[in-house]
Amino acid sequence: MKILAICGMGLGSSMILKITLEKVIRQLGLDASVDVTDITAGRSQAESADIVVTSEELAERIGGVKAQIITVKDYFDVQEMTEKLQNAIEKIKKE
């Protein structure tokens, strides 16, 4: 599974998302990788991702992609990330 963490510049916030996501991935025992990028490159990279994780503001700029888009409020909140990631995975399985 390919997960893409997107922030405005592709540096700070996306790295925080990646760290939190990798912690959740380990806890859930998932076979997944997390890449980070900025919003400009993220629009095209989202086409090859299964899940995109970003803020609500940036999610609107990604546009219509096949990937499940997860928006998070607190990039450090493992519980929020776990719940939203599990929901996205369930949606993917149903497709």
What pLDDT was estimated at residue 82?
95
What pLDDT was estimated at residue 93?
87
**77 phi, psi to nearest 5 deg:** -80, 100
What pLDDT was estimated at residue 3?
96
Q: Which range marks the domain in which residue 17 is found?
A: 2-94
pLDDT confidence bin for 10, thresholds 50/70/90: low
Q: Which long-range contacts (CB under 8 A, 24 or more apart) does 43-50 make?
A: 45/4, 46/4, 46/6, 48/2, 49/2, 49/3, 49/4, 50/1, 50/2, 50/3, 50/92
Torsion of CA 89, 70, 47, 50, to 10 degrees: -20
**pLDDT surpasses 90 at 5:** yes
**pLDDT surpasses 80 at 60:** yes
Q: Which two tokens stand for residue 37?
A: 């990028």
CATH assignment at residue 66? 3.40.50.2300
Structural domains in the chain (count)? 1
Q: What is the mean pLDDT of residues 1-14?
A: 86
